[in-house]
Amino acid sequence: MHTFSSLRADLQRLGIGHDERLLVHSSMKALGQVEGGADTVLDALAAQVCDGLLLLPTHSWKEHNNPDGIFDPLTEPSCVGVLTERFRHRKGVLRSWHPTHSIAGLGAQARDFLAGEELTRSPCPRNGCWGRLHDIGARILFLGAPAKANTFLHSVEEWHGIPDRLAAQATPFRIRVPDTGGRLVDCPQFRHHSSFGDVSQNYGKVANELLSLGIARAGRVGDASCLLCDVRAMADLVGSHLSRNPHFFETP
């Protein structure tokens, strides 16, 4: 049975510091039996990143999300795992206003980092939260989650203008977000789409290269196999692949 103390020790061994800017892709199931469940995992992460910025994706792109065409960041459930859904409810946690690819954050820098997402028009633009991970020198922890869950690489593909990654409709689909006064603000979006299918299924193809170049390090937290990746170096590596071959992620 894993505990708060043992999970913190695992995070420390992996090299996660107190002042980390850390985004976590997670699988609660992969962690095994944890005393206190999901809250203990989140307590351990928050305690380890006590002086930094802790981020978890709280996406809402599935068919059951936003059924009325309105994204309310206070009430819309996350579709990417139990830890993300529990995290967004925790005291002090803020959530960005991106209607399909929001991020929730805890820490002194969270409000500034998460601001302005209602101005985006695509899932992961360079000037949104996923692009800002590069600006703040963040790292990404795959906490039992597979490397193909790397939403950041969607953003890198957007920066490089890779064709056939967004839906080709003439106008984006309409979705609205309530502002702080309750007024509904239009936030039209182009969704992810490729004629090659879900190219993110191939994002894991760079994992071994990330490890061999020291851009990522492997470890374990609880029962979960983990990767801890440097965002800037990963963006440089993947960008070099895409510059040479825009179709890089269209094949395994």
How are strands ordered across the β-sheet holding 224-230? 94-95, 103-106, 53-57, 21-26, 139-143, 224-230, 216-221
In single-letter form, the type of residue at position 21 comes to R
pTM of the predicted structure, to 2 decimals: 0.96
Q: pLDDT confidence of 169, banded at 50, 70, 90? A: low
Average pLDDT of the residues in 15-24? 97
- Domain hosting residue 87, numbered range: 4-250
Helix segments in 80-191, DSSP class H: 82-88, 110-114, 129-135, 151-159
Rounded to whole angstroms, the Cα distance separating 231 from 151 reads 12
Check: CB of residue 51 under 8 Å from CB of residue 19.
yes
Which whole number is the average pLDDT over 14-22? 97
Query: What is the 8-class DSSP label of residue 192?
Result: B
Is pLDDT at 181 greater than 90 in this prediction? no
Q: How many Cβ atoms sit within 10 Å of the Cβ of residue 111?
A: 10
| Pairing between β-strand 94-95 and β-strand 103-106 as defined by DSSP bridges | antiparallel
**Overall domain count for the chain:** 1
Average pLDDT over residues 197-202: 95
pLDDT at 77 over 70: yes
**Distance between CA 71 and CA 88 in Å, rounded?**
14
